[in-house]
A and B are shown apart, each in its own frame.
Chain A
């Protein structure tokens, strides 16, 4: 079945870095655009970044531009989010999602906490 599994979250100090991963199975990963979306505790959903199937087109939310980098490895069926210069306001559950018009399949999320 179609499955997305995020990993790599954890507790990090302000200014620190983390790399999130999203392992995909059950569909042809290289055929699909992918996104990262986050949700701060008790808050709504915020789109973070998008990458096209061949990684030729990438977009970022202004709130993360210059600090986060999205990438993918189609041979490994994996999506990544490198997060640098982390701030307290980056604390959230981070979801990876498949893009088919909208976000049609979501992972279960990985928690990132930025705190000293």
Chain B
């Protein structure tokens, strides 16, 4: 079974540009989560998509946005890039949310975004 796949592996941008990161969940998973792992700051929750809709977002500015496609893959878009956006962006997927569901989140290898 293929795991969560993310592309690209590494992305280099300059300040003010826009970045698009992609994630394909494990087959059968409908929930996709995005996390930012900045150096020394651990993982911070960014966004959660389930069945095509944004269900929750973390404490990030609106320049961070995304979407989930009918095949449950997802994109994370970061507009007006700033130096502080340099980080590893991790995507995770899990089975569908339901009350009392406790499906573990399975992570991809991440996209390292470097802002020059």
Is A bound to B? no
